[in-house]
Amino acid sequence: MLSELPLLSLVVWFPILGGVAVLFVGDENPGRAKVLALTVAIITFLVGIPLYSSFDPATAAMQFQEFMPWIPAFNANYHLGVDGFSMPLILLTAFMTVLVVIAGWEVIEYRVAQYMAAFLIMEGLMIGVFAALDAILFYVFFEAMLIPMFLIIGIWGGPRRVYATLKFFLYTFLGSVFMLIALIYMYNQANSFEILDFHKLPLGLTEQILIFFAFLLGFAVKVPMWPVHTWLPDAHVEAPTGGSVILAAITLKIGGYGFLRFALPIAPDASAMLDWLIITMSLVAVVYIGFVALVQQDMKKLIAYSSIAHMGFVTLGFFIVFGLYRHTGSLNGAAMGVEGGMVQMVSHGFISGALFLCVGVLYDRVHSRQIRDYGGVVNTMPIFAAFMVLFGMANAGLPGTSGFVGEFMVILSSFKAGFWIAFLASFTLILGAAYTLWLVKRVVFGDIGNSHVAELQDVNNREIVMLSLLAAAVLLLGVWPDPLTSVMHATVDNLLQHVIATKL
């Protein structure tokens, strides 16, 4: 019975309609708006659970498909479906939105209903991005996402919010319009906007390279990869806590997902030819951005740069397959790279979200994000300090936490492709530990820094709930990643078979 429900449509549209309903409750009734928003977010997450429990991990085919003609003139359809890549990310989105609603509970006082509605609508659109199997539908969700995020940063953000949000919007908009042209071009060849038809579309090498660059522009900005990452620190610093969480935990993943869904399978030969470019960009992100993170004075900026470095691992894991195949002649270990990238995406969603929430907890009390304004927080906030240390360790990639699993898999895989790639990638273990632990040391430990810190109240129940949910997720994924990796084996194998077969 459950499988007959249009589950995907429900998780896409229920939060959007719920968001509209929250808007109608209005800013005059903040209490009711908050309760309604939380209910909608929780129900969406519950509705999403059958996506996991009824998921068939043995097949790489799309599941829970829904199909409806939409714009017949251009053969664009309302076509939804999930595989092992998109399903975990949908659940991650639904999970993080619940936390974000809780995180904004007492903190947001200005226009509460609009705030909650923006996040719910954002949730629906992001799930739509992951669930869309039609390229135009994907593009529509992908672009529409910009509006709520633009408003979230701009209305509830910090002092330089207008600059940050405009930069965010225009950067992403610029990246994605070229993708639109690539999609239209492929439609002219395939006479269909089905993403799966694009996968099968034979394309010449020049076409593939141009299409690859169009996707690269669109998704590299989203990930963000060095050197188009500069919008991220600005956006993160200025965004309200919830906005930073969603940006780091979900929207960055959309870039990585885009590589898996579009760039790799549509332009496999171009990807194989240009994998050095992506790998170089990823390694620069890991090493150079790691050093940049080391010198940050602003906690949010530090986590933002750490996000860029960690996302470098994701793209590295996705593109290591070609070098590995060239080097060893077999696909052994390649699946580990892609799966490692996927695990890293989910794990980074939890960890970066958690770290931003921790910063938010401090910011709500002291109203400063500067590291030098803290010190010795453990003396006044012991429970909070425990959480912060845990998430810091996870960010540094300590075994037993989810941060370790993904990085370890990617490094193992890259060893097979070449020693120096693995060598440079392992820098993250040193640098990540350095900037994270140094941050924790300066903020949490030591003597009480100033009178503000001396007056701090420890986390309340609401904050404990949201932090422990994340801590449980981080630890569970760290010691037992199988529930996550098992659903994507088939999908990953299918992708790898597809990308090493030439289209020429």
Partner 1 sequence: MNFVAPDFMPVLPEIFLLTMTCLVLVIDVFLEQRQRHITYGLAQLTLLGVALLVLLTYARAPTTTMFGHYVKDAMGDLLKFCICLASAAAFLYSRDYLRQRDLFKGEYYVLGLFGVLGMMVMVSAHSLLSVYLGLELLSLSLYALVAVDRDSPVASEAAMKYFVLGSLASGMLLYGISMVYGATGSIDLQVVADAVARQGTNDLVLVFGLVFLVVGLSFKLGAVPFHMWLPDVYQGAPTSVTLYVGSAPKLAAFALVMRVLVDGFGNLQGDWQQMLVILSVLSIALGNLVAIVQSNIKRMLAYSTISHVGFLLLGILAGTPEGYSASMFYIIVYVLMAVGAFGVVILLSRTGFEAENIDDFKGLNDRSPWLAFVMMVVMMSMAGVPFMAGFYAKWVVLQAIVDVGLVWLAIVGVLFSVIGAFYYLRVVKCMYFDKPERNELIEVGRDVEIAISANGLLLIILGLYPTALMTWCSTALLN
Residues lying near partner 1 in the complex (CB under 8 A) are found at 27, 70-74, 111, 114, 136, 139-141, 143-144, 146-147, 150-151, 154-155, 161-162, 165-166, 169-170, 173-174, 177-178, 180-181, 184-185, 187-188
- Collapsed DSSP state (helix, strand, coil) of residue 5: coil
Q: Which is nearer to partner 1, 80 or 466 (CB)?
A: 80
> What DSSP character marks residue 458?
P
DSSP letter for 370, please: B
Residues 6+ apart with CB under 8 A from 48: 7, 11, 90, 91, 94
Note if the bond before 227 is cis, omega within 30 degrees.
Answer: yes
Q: Are 81 and 66 in contact (CB under 8 A)?
A: yes
Kindly state the smallest distance separating residue 143's Cβ from partner 1, in Å: 4
Q: Which is nearer to partner 1, 79 or 161 (CB)?
A: 161
d(CA 83, CA 60): 6
**CA 177 to chain CA mean position, Å:** 21
Q: Which of 142, 116, 117, 118 lies closest to 128, judged by CA?
A: 142
Identify which of residues 14 and 435 has a Cβ nearer to partner 1 in the complex.
14
Please identify, using beta-carbon distances, which residue of 163 and 480 lies nearer to partner 1.
163
| Burial of 294 from C-beta contacts in 10 A (0-12 / 13-18 / 19+) | middle
Q: Tell me whether residue 155 or residue 331 sits nearer to partner 1 (CB atom).
A: 155
Angle among Cα 449, 450, 455 to the nearest 5 degrees reads 110
Closer Cβ to partner 1, 23 or 389, answer by number: 23
- Name the minimum Å distance from CB 108 to partner 1: 15
Q: In angstroms, what is the minimal distance from the CB of 206 to partner 1?
A: 12
Q: DSSP code of 79? A: E
Least gap, CB of 239 to partner 1 (angstroms): 13
Least separation in angstroms between residue 346's CB and partner 1 is: 27
Nearer to partner 1, 179 or 245 (CB): 179
* Shortest spacing between CB 237 and partner 1, in angstroms: 16
The rounded distance, in Å, linking the Cα atoms of 356 and 224 is 18
Closest distance between partner 1 and the C-beta of residue 177, in Å?
A: 4
Measured CA to CA, the distance from residue 363 to residue 243 in angstroms comes to 14
